[in-house]
Amino acid sequence: MSLMIREELFNMTQKEMTRLRVINQTIDKVITIREAARLLNLSERQVIRLKKGVALEGPAFIIHKNRGRKPAHAIKDELRSTIVNLKQTKYEKANFAHFQELIARYEGISVSYPTVYRVLTAEGIKSPKKHRKAKAHHRRKRKPQRGMLVQIDASPHEWFFGGEKCYLHGAIDDATGEILALFFAPTECLEGYFEIIRQIITNYGIPISIYCDRHTIFVSPKDGKLSIEQELNGEVVNLTQFGRAMEELGITIINAKSAPAKGRIERLWETLQSRLPVEFEINGITNIEAANKFLFEFMKLYNEKFSVEPENPVDAFRKLESCINLDNILCRKEERTIIEGSAFSYNGKYYQLVKNGKKVPAMPKAKLTVLISSNIGIKAVYLGEVYETLLLEERPKKAALNHTKKKIEDRVYTKPSAEHPWRQKTTKQPILYEETDSEILKMLEEIFNSTRAWA
């Protein structure tokens, strides 16, 4: 056996060596074509082709012609090294799926996820996001219409690499998995939830119901804690500010009793915690204000990739009536009493009702409702009308007393002259009333006669 044939046999796999042995037996007429086809699990046509090739070219014909040859659809070595370099430098903290999207968006490199996975794993690079084994549990079926149920929550996380922890308030549609609103705030707060409700109503409409946890923003701490005696006496638990606003908008609040119950938004937080910090770092975003501006663009890209079509294409969102001012609903509302000067006290300061820069007449001791938010400042509702307010330096009553006292001190007194009518002496004539004795006797006689007749 020549050296070349030995080398060819050395490069063969076990499967190819078995195939060569059977083909040689057909050449030596030990077995038939049909028997060889049955042994190799090939068609008789393929066995005839292999027999002819081995007879003409030798054992090398059995070896596949693409062995050792680079596939036509394989990426170039230069592109492979570029992908690896970008992952190790610019996009180091991005997971593989997010990395594939980023290089397509910012670098113009369009490759499939399996290609990215093969290239990076071949270099020993692992994804920052580990895929855990899925737990078997029953998933609640999605709502059929968009806007029937909206899940809201807030997630604390270090959203900016090297920065402090802050809270991302968000809302996701149950039917489509679409992000409806996102808003950053230093803490989980009422203003944050009011802002995402504002975004939902402005961009989509009023949803039918909202699914949230039992945070004190949504549920009063006294909820479910009233005794039987208190309930019999007619005591009720007041709505929270958020609950009152949703009642005014006609939105039903459904409270979840556990985190898995609102699983769709909990899974959203896992995705955003992996993706948003990388996006912020790429775009040089390091503060809440810049992040809130960027979120609108991010939500659009996210929804294009991850949202699904609802079972029923008709939206359940309801349009906000044009006569309703949303700012006067999504705010804190507190009751106050009017004092002197059409004013009221709030948070240790005094405010006056004004309209077009002028004071509004108001009855003291009457009730009004104060509206407070970062969007409208401080306004007040009196007799069904919303008024602007003017911050006063002090209580109106004290200001009036000081003004009167100043006028008295500045008054100049003058002494009347001798010819003044006030200084003239006048003699008053007494008024005399005289009656004669006969008239008096006549009067007494009339009184006596009338008394006698009565007796």
Residue 377 pLDDT level (bands cut at 50, 70, 90): very high
pLDDT band at 238 (very low <50, low <70, confident <90, very high): confident
**Which pLDDT belongs to residue 1?**
46
Which of 117-126, 172-181, 222-231, 394-403 has the highest average model confidence (pLDDT)? 172-181
Mean pLDDT of the region 213-235:
80
Domain residue spans of the chain:
3-62, 77-122, 149-226+236-306, 331-398
Query: pLDDT digit string (tens) for 25-77?
Result: 998 888 999 998 998 898 999 999 988 888 888 888 887 766 766 666 678 88
Q: Which residues contact 450 (CB under 8 A, 6 or more apart)?
A: none
What is the torsion angle, in degrees rounded to the nearest 10, for the CA atoms of residue 445, residue 451, residue 454 and residue 455?
-120
Question: Which pLDDT band holds residue 224 (cuts at 50, 70, 90)?
Answer: confident
Confidence grade of residue 277 (pLDDT, cut at 50, 70, 90): very high
Predicted model pTM: 0.70
Please state, rounded to an integer, the average pLDDT across all residues of the chain.
85
Nearest Cα neighbor of 318 from 210, 201, 212, 211 is: 201
314-349, pLDDT tens digit by residue? Answer: 999 999 999 999 999 999 999 999 998 899 999 999
Burial of 283 per CB tally in 10 Å (0-12, 13-18, 19+): middle
With a pLDDT cut of 90, the percent of the chain lying above it is: 47
Q: How far apart are CA 210 and CA 207, in angstroms?
A: 7
CATH 3.30.420.10 fits 149-226+236-306, yes or no: yes
**DSSP H helix total and E strand total for the chain:** 14, 12
User: For residue 358, what are the β-bridge partners?
Assistant: 355
Judged against a pLDDT cut of 70, whether residue 308 lies above it is answered with: yes
Range name among 31-45, 199-213, 336-350, 435-449 with the lowest pLDDT average: 435-449
